[in-house]
Structure 1
Amino acid sequence: MASAVKDNAGKDVQDEAVQDTTAPAQQAPAKEARPGYGQLLRTPGAWAFLLPGFLARQPFAMLTFSILLLVQHTTGSYGTAGVVSAVTGVSMALFAPQSGKLADRFGQRAVLVPGVLVHAVAVAAMITLALSHAPLWALLVIAVPTGASTPQIGPMVRSRWAAKLTGTPLMPTSTAFESVTDEFTFVVGSVLATALCTGIHPAAGLVAEGVLTLGGGLLFAAQRRSQPPVHRAADSSAKRVSALSVPGLRVLIAGLFGIGTVFGGMQVSLTAFAEDIGQPGINGLLYGVFAAGNMLAGIVCGAISWKVGPRRRLLVGYALLTLLTTPLWAVSVAPLMGAVGLLVGLCIAPALITGYTLVDSLVPAAARTEAFTWLTGAVGLGQAAASTVAGLLADHFGPHAGFLVPLCGTGLALVVLAVFRGHLVPRAETLVVGRGVGHRSPATVD
């Protein structure tokens, strides 16, 4: 395994195991020592699981938003829509780690195939009940299996990268790439859901979500060659591993819950804001600008060779998020809302990427798939809770009141991260963390 060494100029370079033997280490260009996205995507067999994986991971961005728009249309209440969306999100968050554990034990295919079939049936039932104006309790009942059966494609893709690349300089590159993909998913999924629900039919977004989940999930499950090794119950060492036993992961869960409140609060509040100014169709554009900021920041963040430690980056990121979500409730015109939303979005990706990167140094390898699902579930749970609270605030106090939810969520997450930042230090000094795209360095305290 290649290791990072220092040259005479103080720059990180890879040792001769990965260098061109015709050039001295001191003269190797830094960009040749840091594999980027292009080299990552040339990994044999990568595209076979990346393309279907991209289709199948759209539910995380589309599901709760599509339910929110459909139920709000059929009931006329943001509060009711937020509750149904929240139950779906909570169910998704609570069952995500269990899905990760089952995938580790029985294989991803064994979990995905029945899961996507159940999800397709549950989504069809949700559409039928909503359009037939079923009572709230019926919508809440079907929301549970709809969320619980959502395939955890993102963590599964990360697990496949880990199975291929652990111990290589490309591993941190894959971490950054997956974070960028998550942000791009939010751009595509949220805009697509809004466009379908407002431009075609209120149920069109949920129909598309179900089709993409079923088709993409089955195609992804068919890629057996890249599936990670299965950890059987007989493996006693695997049984003892628990991701939640790592204090740092619990701190990161609280932090990413705060990011989830930004997603959920912005979805509901931007919808209510667009309705209030008489331009409901602009909701998709506003949320797309917000999500595009996430994606652009993710691309840039992944390409930077950071000199600041991950803990400090995390705290600075959340401080900026708290600051920039403060004026949202006072904005009354669409262009200014788009500008502020863009700035908020620009701060999200660095925090997400840093959180996922810290998992590599905090959590044992045997528990990382579960750890990734906990973080993904935390975002979903925060999104669900924010949708409920923001919807109720919008119903009772006006459309701008919902924007207080992202502010409070990120503020509380910042406090937790600041107070418990000591838990984010790797237990062993020999661990390394990703620093930029394809760049590895000794884990730093700050």
Structure 2
Amino acid sequence: MASTVSIGNGYGQLLRTRGAWTYLLPGFAARQPFAMLTISIVLLVQHTTGSYGAAGAVAAVTGVSMALFAPWSGRLADRHGQRAVLIPGVLGHTASGLTLTALALAHAPLWALFAAAVPTGASVPHIGPMVRARWGVTLKGSPLLTTAAAFESVTDELTFVVGPLLATALCTTVNPAAGLVTEASLTLLGGLLFAARKSTQPPVAAAGHARVEHASALRVPGVRVLIVAFLGIGSVFGGMQVSLAAFTESLGEPGLNGVLYGTFAAGNMLSGLVCGALAWRTAPQQRLVVGYGALALTASGLWAAHSVLVLAGLGLLVGMCIAPALITGYTLVESLVPAGARTEAFTWLTGAVALGQAAAVTAAGQLEDHLWGGSGFLVPMGGTLLALATLLALRSRLAVRPRSRTVARGVGHRVPVAVD
């Protein structure tokens, strides 16, 4: 059960937080890689090779690299500060992204595209977790933290509305490479401006506290359960991107790809706005299970849609089910993980989305190449159903317990962590 609170008061008060806009605006630009990168790679490589399988494979290498390096990047940001990680990251991402673009246009062999995809994914700046960490410091102990989590989810989803639409429009009407070039440019500009805002950066723990505060977030059992849930969410993003592109191309209307994906992302954004304006009375782990059940149910119907209108309607419903799961997951991190490991925890979750997306674009690309049109939509169904089964089996690990000075590390092991 929930009772509504004023949207204007909650979000308005949040956005009046001193210094917030100085990092929110450049952060929005620097978030674009997560929304534009995969679809830009798929459209460019499919154009140059003629294969969705090859396009999905290159995008998957990028996504896997992004997922593997995300927690490491978050851990370094917790220990050494966001600026120290962000500046070399955005410079490296810009260079490697442009290299991948040039190789694809030159019809380089697949192994060369894979080689360029690795640093492109590894260097993606994880701005979302960094912004969430800044909110955590700015609003420490404030009831606006839940509103901030909702606002960040809405911002992420707005990115997923703008990013795919922009990338698709650029790739289909300007040049197949325009999406990646724009993505690299936004990363460079937004990332450097965001890094310049040193005053809002979370403080780096003193050396004497490093061993305590920086115990890995992955040692928290609830974080591992959330990672599985976010892998399933990633399978929806990846499966939708490839399958919608294949579906609209089969109709001879590739420009509809961005519209359909934007409809899906718009549902996500709108439900995120509503979630942020509700005062929930149920426990967050219960909301996560119920919301995830709705996500799995709606995603399971995508493969049966054979018209643009039906697919748009189902995509809207699927999108509306994603935001509650994302918001609840990020809210649980605030309760489950010590402050000194939260950036890392957030990057584990965003990395899980990237990894799920990478696996999904590969699987969906192969299905679209070798089976019937629309078979790639089986991937979101399978991913969400498996994640839901895991949530149901391990939901007790998401229960928020009183913070002690230890965090469980498997059976019979304890690792000291600092109390917030």
TM-score normalised by the chain length of structure 2: 0.93
Report the Cα offset of residue 323 of structure 1.
1.2
* Other-structure match for 2:36: 62
Where 1:308 maps in the other structure, the secondary structure is: coil
Report the Cα offset of residue 231 of structure 1.
2.4
Structure 2 CA distance for aligned equivalents of residues 104 and 262 of structure 1: 30
Match of 2:78 among 98, 101, 104: 104
- Judged with a 3 Å threshold, the aligned counterparts in structure 2 of structure 1 residues 47 and 286 are, in CA distance, closer, same or farther, namely same
Report the Cα offset of residue 308 of structure 1.
2.2
* Other-structure match for 1:15: none
* Other-structure match for 1:73: 47
Deviation string for 1:61-89 (max 9, x for gaps)?
A: 01111111100110010000001000101
Where 1:280 maps in the other structure, the secondary structure is: coil
Report the Cα offset of residue 329 of structure 1.
1.2
Deviation string for 1:270-300 (max 9, x for gaps)?
A: 0000011221111111101011000001001
1:260/1:378 contact within 8 Å kept: yes
Structure 1 CA distance for aligned equivalents of residues 173 and 16 of structure 2: 38
1:233/1:239 contact within 8 Å kept: no
Are positions 1:302 and 2:273 aligned together? no
* Other-structure match for 1:319: 293
1:322/1:411 contact within 8 Å kept: yes
Report the Cα offset of residue 33 of structure 1.
12
Report the Cα offset of residue 411 of structure 1.
0.1
- Tell me the amino acid that sits aligned with residue 338 of structure 2: P
Where 1:229 maps in the other structure, the secondary structure is: coil
Match of 1:223 among 183, 193, 197: 197
1:191/1:288 contact within 8 Å kept: yes
Structure 2 CA distance for aligned equivalents of residues 62 and 33 of structure 1: 29
- Tell me the amino acid that sits aligned with residue 198 of structure 2: R
Structure 2 CA distance for aligned equivalents of residues 308 and 164 of structure 1: 26
Structure 2 CA distance for aligned equivalents of residues 157 and 97 of structure 1: 15
* Other-structure match for 1:265: 239
Structure 1: gaps spanning 5 or more residues: 1-10, 13-29, 431-446
Aligned-pair Cα RMSD in Å? 1.8
Structure 1 CA distance for aligned equivalents of residues 382 and 185 of structure 2: 36
- Tell me the amino acid that sits aligned with residue 278 of structure 1: G
* Other-structure match for 1:86: 60
Report the Cα offset of residue 301 of structure 1.
1.0
* Other-structure match for 2:312: 338
Report the Cα offset of residue 185 of structure 1.
0.8
- Tell me the amino acid that sits aligned with residue 75 of structure 1: T
1:78/1:395 contact within 8 Å kept: yes
* Other-structure match for 2:418: none
Structure 2 CA distance for aligned equivalents of residues 233 and 139 of structure 1: 41
2:129/2:343 contact within 8 Å kept: yes
Are positions 1:290 and 2:290 aligned together? no
Structure 1 CA distance for aligned equivalents of residues 369 and 7 of structure 2: 55
* Other-structure match for 2:153: 179
Report the Cα offset of residue 232 of structure 1.
4.6
Are positions 1:131 and 2:97 aligned together? no
Deviation string for 1:369-417 (max 9, x for gaps)?
A: 1100000100111011100000000000022110000000000000000
Match of 1:140 among 114, 124, 144: 114
Shifted more, 144-153 versus 162-171: the winner is 162-171
2:229/2:388 contact within 8 Å kept: yes
Structure 2 CA distance for aligned equivalents of residues 238 and 185 of structure 1: 35
Report the Cα offset of residue 143 of structure 1.
0.4
Structure 1 CA distance for aligned equivalents of residues 199 and 403 of structure 2: 35
- Judged with a 3 Å threshold, the aligned counterparts in structure 2 of structure 1 residues 240 and 267 are, in CA distance, closer, same or farther, namely closer
Are positions 1:428 and 2:388 aligned together? no
1:102/1:111 contact within 8 Å kept: yes
* Other-structure match for 1:403: 377
* Other-structure match for 2:162: 188
Shifted more, 391-400 versus 318-327: the winner is 318-327
Rg comparison, structure with higher value: 1
1:96/1:373 contact within 8 Å kept: yes
- Judged with a 3 Å threshold, the aligned counterparts in structure 2 of structure 1 residues 349 and 240 are, in CA distance, closer, same or farther, namely closer
1:35/1:173 contact within 8 Å kept: no
Where 1:427 maps in the other structure, the secondary structure is: coil
Where 1:315 maps in the other structure, the secondary structure is: helix
* Other-structure match for 2:95: 121
1:79/1:388 contact within 8 Å kept: yes
Where 2:199 maps in the other structure, the secondary structure is: coil
